[in-house]
Amino acid sequence: MADAMLETIGLSRRFGGLAAVQDVSLAIERGVVHAIVGPNGAGKTTLINLLSGDLKPSAGMVRYKGRDITAWPAHKVAHLGIGRSYQKTNIFRDHSAFENCRLAAQARLPGAFDMLRPARSRADVLSRARQALEQCGLADRAQRRAVDMSYGEQRQLELAMLLASEPELLLLDEPLAGMGPEESARVIDLLKRLAATHTLVMIEHDMDAVFAVAERITVMVNGSVLASDTPAAIRANKAVQEAYLGEAVS
């Protein structure tokens, strides 16, 4: 476990009487694409929210690069280089695609609190935003208002914002949700390229995509980890087949 980049120990979160996430201990290794799968209501998104600081755990610990970051607020987590995307598109609807990415790029750079210089004069921010849009195939959509973009484009913008903030570790909540086959293929391609330089944690329902990119798969059921292993081992796992893959594949 020496090379675990992000680690949870006995992580739990209850909502009233419901244990959404229960005693989850995971190690995300550096440079790995780690997929989290499981049926709806398994607690996957809650887990991501706990990792990103959007939610505070009821019990347990989160460690990033050996540092205890349990219950850190989301903005501090982001500054460590942990970025996230949302399942439900979460963008600045009235801003242009470019402005969306510019805000994202500005967040972690020094001078985000600058009150004097014009925001649009920051060359470093602008080039980051432009790059992120290009990477996600949105270069020609830069000036379009987010709300006027197609659903698939908005999903890509969601990713572009994430990239613009240049995180080391990406928490992706169903990056392919609602995308057409072409867009999906492009994003899978992008994820593969990102995998070379980043650590990825992704929730995804598209099993083809999961097995295409993931090097490690964690299966969650009812808030707990059922299995966490290599794709091959997960495929062969009897319990997983019964509990989840059985119904999903057939």
Partner 1 sequence: MPSYSRVTLVLLALGFAALALFPLVGETFYIRFFTKIMIYALFAMSLDLLVGYAGLVSLGHAAFFGVATYTVAGFIDKLGIADGFLILPAALAVAAICAAVIGWISIRTTGVYFIMITLALAQMLYYFFNDQLYWGGTDGMNISAKPLLALGGFTLVDLSNRVQFYYTALACLVTAFVMLSVLLRSPFGHALVGIRANEGRMRSLGYDVQRYKLVAFVVAGALAGLAGFLESSRATFATPAYLGWHESGHALMIVILGGMGTLYGPILGAFVLLLMEDYFATLTERWLLIEGLFVMAVALLMPEGLAGLPRRIAALRRRAPENGDG
Chain residues binding partner 1 by CB under 8 A are: 52-54, 73-76, 78-79, 83-84, 86, 90-95, 102-104, 106-108, 111-120, 122, 125, 161, 165
Residue (161 or 209) nearer to partner 1, CB: 161
For the bound state, the minimum distance from the C-beta of residue 119 to partner 1, rounded and expressed in Å, comes to 4
Residue (97 or 217) nearer to partner 1, CB: 97
For the bound state, the minimum distance from the C-beta of residue 74 to partner 1, rounded and expressed in Å, comes to 5
For the bound state, the minimum distance from the C-beta of residue 116 to partner 1, rounded and expressed in Å, comes to 6
SS3 assignment, position 192:
helix
Closest to 211 (Cα-Cα) out of 35, 45, 42: 35
Give me the residues paired with residue 201 across strands. Answer: 34, 171
Residue (72 or 244) nearer to partner 1, CB: 72
Structure tokens at 246: 């059985």
Q: d(Cα 43, Cα 221) in Å, to the nearest integer?
A: 8
For the bound state, the minimum distance from the C-beta of residue 14 to partner 1, rounded and expressed in Å, comes to 21
CA dist list (Å): 5 to 57, 162, 177, 200, 225: 19, 19, 26, 11, 19
Within a 13 Å sphere around the CA of 64, how many CA atoms are in the beta-carbon half? Answer: 20
Q: Are 105 and 129 in contact (CB under 8 A)?
A: yes
Give me the residues paired with residue 199 across strands. Answer: 169
Residue (22 or 49) nearer to partner 1, CB: 49
Residue (19 or 126) nearer to partner 1, CB: 126
Number of Cβ within a 10 Å radius of residue 103: 19
Residue type, 16: G
For the bound state, the minimum distance from the C-beta of residue 100 to partner 1, rounded and expressed in Å, comes to 9
Residue (27 or 101) nearer to partner 1, CB: 101
For the bound state, the minimum distance from the C-beta of residue 75 to partner 1, rounded and expressed in Å, comes to 5
For the bound state, the minimum distance from the C-beta of residue 174 to partner 1, rounded and expressed in Å, comes to 16
Residue (155 or 216) nearer to partner 1, CB: 155
Q: d(Cα 60, Cα 75) in Å, to the nearest integer?
A: 20
CA dist list (Å): 137 to 41, 88, 110, 238: 32, 20, 27, 40
Q: d(Cα 96, Cα 102) in Å, to the nearest integer?
A: 10
